[in-house]
């Protein structure tokens, strides 16, 4: 199974990094974890065909995490897509996505065969099962209206955990437990900020994460300025990881 980091940046494109988006593939399916505004460009930059996607999993309803969906949908139908794309997210994912599509491209929905798009809402703290994987969503602490969740993906014999955007919460310990890879946001170096983590906190709590590998993502300007001091691997746009 291969993970390609399409975007590991924050909401502001600090140092030119793409918005959050991770591409996961095995022999059977291709999945996106989050789909920030820059995701379509990032996929094509990495020579990954959007039309091959089977699932998109959304951690929360902020533009740098789900705002790329309208552009992706337009591109899929431009290529005469014939297979179903399943988009799984928090409550309201279908309504929010279609509203954003209409806002950005008024009237375009009449030209798209939306029957090929299946929207699903994940339940909190319960397993959602598909034919290919299981998904568990954990509530985390970020902007409440965005319905923030950390995601834990059980696929093949592997576990991949993703914090989404959050400040410290003990929920992260359960989220990371037994994960082969835990992708954790690290927006700041030592600055305390509502809704986000910093490196100093992660270092202090690191031993509580019961995961095999920890990877930091979503670094903002403050964290990037101190990245040479990091002792935990940092996600980089274009990085490929074998899991």
H or E element that contains 2: strand 2-7
Residue 64 annotated in active site:
yes
CA distance 34 to 53: 13
Residue 228's SS3 state is helix
CA–CA distance, 139 with 20 (Å, rounded to integer): 18
Contact 119, 98 (CB under 8 A): no
Could you give the CA distance from residue 135 to residue 138 in angstroms, rounded to a whole number? 10
**Residue of 10, 34, 64, 237 marked catalytic:** 64
Phi, then psi, of 99 in degrees rounded to 5:
-65, -40
CA distances, 163 to each of 46, 151, 197, 225 (Å):
24, 6, 10, 22
Catalytic positions, written as ranges: 64
């Amino acid at each position: 199974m291969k993970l390609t980091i399409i975007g590991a940046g924050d909401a502001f494109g600090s140092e030119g990094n793409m918005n959050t988006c991770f591409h996961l593939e095995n022999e059977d399916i291709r999945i996106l974890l989050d789909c920030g505004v820059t995701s379509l460009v990032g996929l094509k930059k990495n020579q990954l065909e959007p039309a091959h996607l089977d699932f998109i999993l959304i951690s929360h309803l902020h533009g740098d995490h789900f705002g790329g969906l309208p552009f992706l949908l337009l591109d899929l139908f431009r290529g005469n897509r014939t297979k179903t794309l399943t988009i799984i997210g928090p409550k309201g994912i279908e309504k929010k996505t279609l509203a954003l599509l209409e806002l950005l491209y008024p009237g375009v929905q009449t030209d798209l065969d939306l029957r090929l798009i299946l929207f699903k809402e994940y339940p909190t703290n319960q397993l959602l099962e598909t034919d290919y994987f299981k998904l568990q969503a954990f509530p985390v602490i970020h902007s409440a209206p965005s319905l923030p969740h950390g995601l834990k993906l059980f696929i093949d014999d592997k576990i991949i955990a993703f914090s989404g955007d959050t400040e410290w919460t003990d929920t992260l310990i359960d989220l990371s437990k037994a994960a082969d890879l835990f992708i954790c946001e690290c927006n700041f170096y030592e600055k305390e900020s509502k809704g986000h983590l910093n490196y100093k906190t992660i270092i202090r709590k690191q031993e509580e994460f019961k995961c095999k590998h920890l990877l930091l993502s979503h670094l903002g300007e403050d964290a990037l300025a101190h990245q040479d001091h990091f002792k935990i691997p940092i996600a980089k746009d274009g990085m490929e990881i074998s899991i």
